[in-house]
Structure 1
Amino acid sequence: MGAINLIEAVNYDTNPVVVHCSAGVGRSGTIVGISLIMDKMIQGINCKDMKKLVEEIRNQRHYAIQTEAQYMYIHRVLLEYFLELHKETYEGLLLTKNYEEKYAKWLDDYNTYAEANDRTQAAKAARAAL
């Protein structure tokens, strides 16, 4: 996953990291949110309440993580990260055939959602350009 690789790469750098998109809140907030929650996972902090975690991020940066698509993307990235981080721990519990099928279905549903969202955003941009 690109976001995880990016975050892990910059975590090795000792220099300050700047993350910024056009307004500095939506996409930037999404990447910073993923990074902060990854850090919490590594520290063993309970991250089940994603809504609360997003609210914590918004307390530091208003309007961070602006859209449903960004919120869903955070879930997508962190679910994959969690599974990779705890692969050995949950191998016999979560990584069953039934779970694998449910996870594959969730990924398909997510990808369908993301593609539809991309088409909607492209159509809005095209209308705005007229």
Structure 2
Amino acid sequence: MTRTLVFFHLVGAAVWLGGTITVGALVPALRKAGVERPQLQAMARQFGRVSWVAMTVAVASGVWLVSRTGRSWGDLSLKAGLVILVIAIAGVHQVTARRLSAAQRGIIQGLILLVSLGIFAVATGV
């Protein structure tokens, strides 16, 4: 069971971070290629649905892993704090994105990426 939970945890985290990097790379290129804002918004909404499922899977499997392995929450406090932070930033972004300029959205997306990379760094001991 633990291996299955690890699998789902890693897949959820990979989809979240990989999608964040992919969208972050594609949006400026698509904008430069003349893709209109409604199409970019549709892409962002679809990514939002996928990414929230991925984050939910990563968090749920992570909590379940901690409960099964007996690992201390103290050992994971930095990672858990960063996960809470990235969820909060992503939530704010999702609610406010329509009202923000492209530059402001880019700053928030950059923060989401940096915090997500921080989670991976902490998780891997970098």
* TM-score (normalizing by structure 1): 0.38
TM-score w.r.t. length of structure 2: 0.39
Greater relative contact order: 1 or 2 (C-alpha under 8 angstroms, separation 6 or more)?
2
More helix by share: 2
